[in-house]
Amino acid sequence: MTANLNDKPLLSARNLGKHYGQRLGCRDVNFDLYEGEVLAVVGESGSGKSTLLGLLATELSPTAGAVHYRMRDGETRNLFDLSEADRRFLLGTDWGFVRQDARDGLRMGVSAGGNVGERLMAVGGRHYGRIRDTASDWLNRVEIEPERIDDLPKSFSGGMRQRLQIARNLVTHPRLVFMDEPTSSLDVSVQARLLDLIRGLVSELGLAVIIVTHDLAVARLLSHRIMVMRQGRVIETGLTDQVLDDPREAYTQLLVSSVLAA
């Protein structure tokens, strides 16, 4: 994959940390993310990768550090200084968040078209016909029959729900998308199809993506760079192929070898 990188980072984390009482969530995380770049955060359960994602998406408040984001007007702002209204606007327009369980990322009592259309309304869409046409087009792009536009997500399979969640998130052409184990709850054959879809859309739209995954195959397929976390700290980072083919740290070597032995 070839990233279309801007000279200035889109997102920067500096000395970012989170403690839960005496328990460490993550500590001293530093990185830059550029437009068009996909960063995979990997590690075993409890490594801190989900805490980090929650901080970056402003769903958690940090104990230490800052996250700076370059807004569409070019101004760089600390996300934790934003008002609640500004934060919600970012989450509803400029960012996407693909959840591990699609039920957490969809409104299950709203039609497929309504789920996609809500995001369009958040960026000013008001013409019902145009919203419906755009929703239909996006359903088709994520391989859901447009005829199912009025069906509820609860009538969809797990793979279809994830594809609907992707359409809901990408319809506003966000610049940054967070993904939390987007394929882990799906059958292997469904996973492969969904990963192909994600890879194609990310490349086509030039998205910046931070994906949390325990699956190194997913990281290799989708990401340009990789961060390996253990016990709340980033222990290794670099180009994905470089880290996975020639890991420097013993823990990363263990992760890679366990995949090869599986």
**Which of these, 24, 33, 21, 23, lies nearest to 57 by C-alpha position?**
33
First to last CA, the chain: 26
HSE, side-chain direction, 13 A CA sphere, residue 83: 3
Instruction: Determine which of 17-21, 97-101, 152-156, 182-186 has the lowest per-residue pLDDT on average.
Output: 182-186
pLDDT at 183 over 90: no
116-138 confidence digits (pLDDT tens): 999 988 777 677 789 999 999 99
Confidence grade of residue 202 (pLDDT, cut at 50, 70, 90): very high
pTM: 0.92
> 87 is written with which tokens?
């934060």
pLDDT at 215 over 50: yes
Amino acid at 257: S
Amino acid at 122: A
Domain residues of the chain, as ranges? 11-105+178-261
**Residue 164 in contact with residue 140, Cβ under 8 Å?**
no
> 3-class SS at 229?
strand
> 82 is written with which tokens?
């934003």
Share above pLDDT 90 across residues of the chain, in percent, rounded to a whole number:
81
The CA-atom distances, in angstroms, between 89 and each of 52, 60, 92, 103, 136 are 21, 17, 5, 21, 24
**Which of these, 215, 226, 156, 155, lies nearest to 191 by C-alpha position?**
215
pLDDT at 216 over 80: yes
Superfamily of the domain at 11-105+178-261:
P-loop containing nucleotide triphosphate hydrolases (3.40.50.300)
Q: How far apart are CA 80 and CA 14, in angstroms?
A: 12
